[in-house]
Amino acid sequence: MVPANRIRYAGKGLSGFLLKMIQEVITLVVFTVFAVWYLKELFHWRYAVSFALLIGVVFFMFSKRFG
């Protein structure tokens, strides 16, 4: 765990699961931008659906309404 994660983990009480999900979303967004702009990969509609599902996962993980 990097020091910034340890500080955030201890200070705000975020669980390891939440920190990992945040890391995955950031990594996928950065890689997508890199792949589209630098590698000239095509952005398919399936990727947009996948990102929307990931945003839904983050919403459910941070929401207090669902348990």
- Global pTM value: 0.69
Give the residue from 58, 63, 66, 67 showing the smallest Cα distance to 18: 58
Q: What is the mean pLDDT of residues 26-43?
A: 93
- What separation in angstroms does the CA of 15 have from each of 34, 37, 42? 29, 34, 35
What letter does residue 64 receive in the DSSP assignment? Answer: S
pLDDT of residue 11: 62
* pLDDT band (50, 70, 90) for residue 36: very high
Annotated domain spans of the chain: 3-62
Q: What is the mean pLDDT of residues 34-42?
A: 95
pLDDT of residue 6: 62
